[in-house]
A and B are shown apart, each in its own frame.
Chain A
Amino acid sequence: MQPAAKSSFAERAATATPEPLARAVRGLSDRAIAWLFISPTMALLLAINIFPLIWTIRLSFTNYRANRPNAEVVGVGIDHFADILTDPDVWASMQATAHFVFWTILLQTLLGFALAWFVDRRFRGHGFWTTAILIPMMLSPAVVGNFWAFLYQPQIGLFNYVVSFFTGLDPSSFEMIGSVKLAPWAIVLVDTWMWTPYVMLICLAGLRSIPDYIYEAAEVDRASKWRQFWTITLPMALPFIMLAVLFRGIENFKMFDLVNLLTNGGPGSTTEVASITLKREAFEKWRTGYSSAFAIILFVTVFGLANIYVKALNRVKSR
């Protein structure tokens, strides 16, 4: 009986120590519960992001065609990549993309910042005007694309009428969408109309983040409005402006919907931006393997550029 009495003291001490809650409930460790909670997200991410990416990489080395599922799939090595990088049509579409991205970003940043600056003056009714300015951004790209296609109609479109009203040109003397010279600018104009408000919103957040007392200090230090703008407003809003440029840049690099609805790459291939080319290769010519390779090249390009840019952005922010 003596040994039993001794061990019962140790037993009692052991049972008196409470177990961690997780183990007491289901026999699971905290780590296991954490895994349990994130596994649905992980599974979803794997299924809809990671797996397709890996599958696309695999397809890009084959001659697979999605419209001929039963045909034999042959590995072609890096042929598709070599073809794409040496194809003048692809380079033409990259140039069209670059033109579109460059001009939309330039115009949207300048206009967006200017609008933000005016709205930040807090004039009478600035709340109403902010909302009014934001409307284009809230519309669906499909609606915007279709409506601007109507507006650009040379005979019945409002755009040509308005231009002719102010310039005296004959409204049917030019076609925004139909002409090789004007079509690239037609899509730049619509994208700028639609997305300048977005840039304005981000710039406005930047301007509002600058505390008033910094301006007051500058005022007392006898800095002119001009100097205040260059030494306070612009440097302090710069990280926000750069962020807007990043978002718009990525978005416009893969621009598809507006261009597809307005010009569908035409006339000829003047406005055939990269994603239109990609769509044609993938779903009109059904060259699935080839377009997979193209998609990967585009992805690496955007990813690389965005990474370089984010590094620059962080440098600006840490100043």
Chain B
Amino acid sequence: MAEVLLSGVSKRFGDTEAVSGLDLRAGDGEFTVLLGPTGAGKTTTLRLVAGLEKPDAGRIHIGGRDVTATAPAPRDVSFVFQQYSLYPHLSVYDNLAFPLRAPARRLPEAQIRARVEQVAELLRIGDKLANRATQLSGGQMQRVAIGRALVRRPNVYLMDEPLSSLDSKLRAELRVELKRIQRDTGATLLYVTHDQAEALTMATRIGVLDRGRLVQLGAPRDIYEDPVNTYVATRLGSPGINLVPRSLFPGVAAPAATVTIGVRTEHLRVQRDPAGSGRVARIEHLGDQNHLHVTLADATVVVLADPDAPLAVGDAVALQLQSPLFFGADGNRLRH
């Protein structure tokens, strides 16, 4: 396993700057998740690390070796594509064995079989080994694709939204499974997603990308609690963080330049108060919790509430902020 280091990496496609001046370190044995919306440059970053794209500028190191100009094969990485990139005319077994049969490896067939069966068991496709790749469901195909990455012990695993095409139950299961595999094997894993649940549950560190730049890199907890700007703050949390004008909470002590106050749903305390400035507009019952939509002047905030709280639509309420975040006019975080 090895550390991945990108320094000042840029990549353009025509007029679009997919990645610009990206610095990123994915530590040895870490599960690094790149998070960002479509077009943030996540996939391009991954393809640059794999060698499927050549950077216009900057250097890429894997395990201390400069691989900027190296072809994909000698980089010894494995890649799980978003599409099911299976070899359609091969059986599941042969698909899984494919990377092990590369001439550079020359593994004995018995060893290949043992390895393939182990991985198939792990991904619960052990009974599908004899099937043709095209006879599988979408979820099974993607598990084979993940399995094909796992049969090897590469320098680094690269995964491009591997779970996005699976149903939510399987996705939740594989999330746990992938994390377990990564922890057990001590693998370096670079994982691209726009799903915050995947990022929060699996990542050792999350890198938030915006238009080809790394905005913040840190542990999931840090990214969640201590975002550097509103962009990062809105990436995590469901429902998303409430961003309200500073003027709505005149009583809160904030830095002078504060324009926006950010407060997560669970950091709002709501109390019935006939003199309160808020009004309950809507209540979403989710079973274990309620989401209250509270209108406050011309803004709406979402508040996480106890399902037993005696509140009804139309009630006047007062809101209390706990650990609010302050942002300036440019969206950047302000600290006391």
Does A associate with B in a complex? yes
Using a CB–CB cutoff of 8 Å, the interface residues on chain A facing chain B are 211, 213-214, 216-224, 227, 231-232, 235-236, 319
> Chain B contacts of A223 at CB under 8 A?
98, 102
Cβ distance B208 to chain A, nearest Cβ, rounded Å = 26
Q: When the two chains form their complex, are residues B102 and A221 in contact, meaning their CB atoms are under 8 A apart?
A: yes
Are A236 and B89 CB-contacts (below 8 A) given A211-B83, A220-B72? yes
Q: When the two chains form their complex, are residues B87 and A220 in contact, meaning their CB atoms are under 8 A apart?
A: no
Q: When the two chains form their complex, are residues A216 and B81 in contact, meaning their CB atoms are under 8 A apart?
A: yes
Q: When the two chains form their complex, are residues B132 and A219 in contact, meaning their CB atoms are under 8 A apart?
A: no
Q: Please name 16 further chain A to chain B contacts, defined as beta carbons within 8 Å, in addition to the given A211-B83, A217-B85, sorted by A numbering.
A: A213-B85, A214-B86, A216-B52, A216-B79, A218-B98, A219-B52, A219-B71, A220-B73, A221-B102, A222-B76, A222-B102, A223-B102, A224-B102, A231-B87, A231-B90, A232-B87
> Chain A contacts of B78 at CB under 8 A?
220-221
Which residue from A213, A220, A224 sits with its C-beta under 8 Å from B103?
A224
B275 at the binding interface (Cβ < 8 Å): no
**Quick one: which of B196-221 are within 8 Å of A by CB?**
none
> Chain A contacts of B307 at CB under 8 A?
none
Number of A-B contacts (CB under 8 A): 61
Cβ distance B85 to chain A, nearest Cβ, rounded Å = 4
B148 at the binding interface (Cβ < 8 Å): yes
**In the bound complex, CA of A235 to CA of B95 (Å):** 14
> What would be 18 A-B contacts, judged by CB atoms less than 8 Å apart?
A211-B85, A213-B81, A214-B87, A216-B72, A216-B79, A216-B81, A216-B85, A217-B85, A218-B87, A219-B52, A219-B71, A220-B50, A220-B52, A220-B72, A220-B78, A227-B102, A319-B88, A319-B134
Cβ distance A45 to chain B, nearest Cβ, rounded Å = 37
B77 at the binding interface (Cβ < 8 Å): yes
**In the bound complex, CA of A161 to CA of B288 (Å):** 91
Secondary structure dominating the interface of A: helix
The chain A residue with its CB closest to the CB of B105 is: A222
**In the bound complex, CA of A224 to CA of B101 (Å):** 11
B69 at the binding interface (Cβ < 8 Å): no
> Chain B contacts of A219 at CB under 8 A?
52, 71-73
Cβ distance A207 to chain B, nearest Cβ, rounded Å = 15
**Quick one: which of B52-108 are within 8 Å of A by CB?**
52, 71-73, 76-79, 81, 83, 85-90, 98-99, 102-105
**In the bound complex, CA of A161 to CA of B90 (Å):** 51
Using a CB–CB cutoff of 8 Å, the interface residues on chain B facing chain A are 50-52, 71-73, 76-79, 81, 83, 85-90, 98-99, 102-105, 132, 134, 145, 148
> Chain A contacts of B148 at CB under 8 A?
217, 221
Cβ-closest 6 pairs across A and B: A222-B102, A217-B85, A221-B99, A235-B89, A222-B73, A220-B79
The chain A residue with its CB closest to the CB of B76 is: A222
Q: Which of A211, A213, A232 is packed against the most chain B CB atoms within 10 Å?
A: A213
Are A217 and B79 CB-contacts (below 8 A) given A222-B73, A224-B103? yes
**In the bound complex, CA of A219 to CA of B76 (Å):** 10
> Chain B contacts of A213 at CB under 8 A?
81, 83, 85
Are A222 and B99 CB-contacts (below 8 A) given A216-B52, A217-B79, A319-B132? yes
> Chain B contacts of A227 at CB under 8 A?
102-103
Q: When the two chains form their complex, are residues B79 and A222 in contact, meaning their CB atoms are under 8 A apart?
A: no
> Chain A contacts of B72 at CB under 8 A?
216, 219-220
**In the bound complex, CA of A235 to CA of B50 (Å):** 26
Are A319 and B89 CB-contacts (below 8 A) given A211-B83, A213-B83, A220-B77? yes
> Chain A contacts of B88 at CB under 8 A?
236, 319
**In the bound complex, CA of A220 to CA of B77 (Å):** 7
Q: When the two chains form their complex, are residues B98 and A221 in contact, meaning their CB atoms are under 8 A apart?
A: yes
The chain A residue with its CB closest to the CB of B71 is: A219
> Chain A contacts of B89 at CB under 8 A?
235-236, 319
The chain B residue with its CB closest to the CB of A224 is: B103
The chain A residue with its CB closest to the CB of B90 is: A231
**In the bound complex, CA of A221 to CA of B89 (Å):** 17
Cβ distance A206 to chain B, nearest Cβ, rounded Å = 13
Cβ distance B239 to chain A, nearest Cβ, rounded Å = 35
**In the bound complex, CA of A193 to CA of B166 (Å):** 50
**In the bound complex, CA of A130 to CA of B81 (Å):** 32
The chain B residue with its CB closest to the CB of A231 is: B87
Which residue from B51, B71, B81, B105 sits with its C-beta under 8 Å from A217?
B81
**In the bound complex, CA of A235 to CA of B88 (Å):** 9
> Chain B contacts of A235 at CB under 8 A?
89
> Chain A contacts of B103 at CB under 8 A?
224, 227
> Chain A contacts of B83 at CB under 8 A?
211, 213
> Chain B contacts of A224 at CB under 8 A?
102-103
**In the bound complex, CA of A25 to CA of B206 (Å):** 68
Cβ distance B149 to chain A, nearest Cβ, rounded Å = 9
Q: Which of B76, B79, B134 is packed against the most chain A CB atoms within 10 Å?
A: B79
The chain B residue with its CB closest to the CB of A215 is: B85
> Chain B contacts of A232 at CB under 8 A?
87
Cβ distance B142 to chain A, nearest Cβ, rounded Å = 13
Cβ distance B207 to chain A, nearest Cβ, rounded Å = 21
Cβ distance A229 to chain B, nearest Cβ, rounded Å = 13
Cβ distance A215 to chain B, nearest Cβ, rounded Å = 9
Cβ distance A267 to chain B, nearest Cβ, rounded Å = 47
Q: When the two chains form their complex, are residues B90 and A214 in contact, meaning their CB atoms are under 8 A apart?
A: no
> Chain B contacts of A218 at CB under 8 A?
87, 98
> Chain A contacts of B132 at CB under 8 A?
319
The chain A residue with its CB closest to the CB of B77 is: A220
> Chain A contacts of B99 at CB under 8 A?
221-222
Cβ distance A313 to chain B, nearest Cβ, rounded Å = 14
**In the bound complex, CA of A223 to CA of B71 (Å):** 12
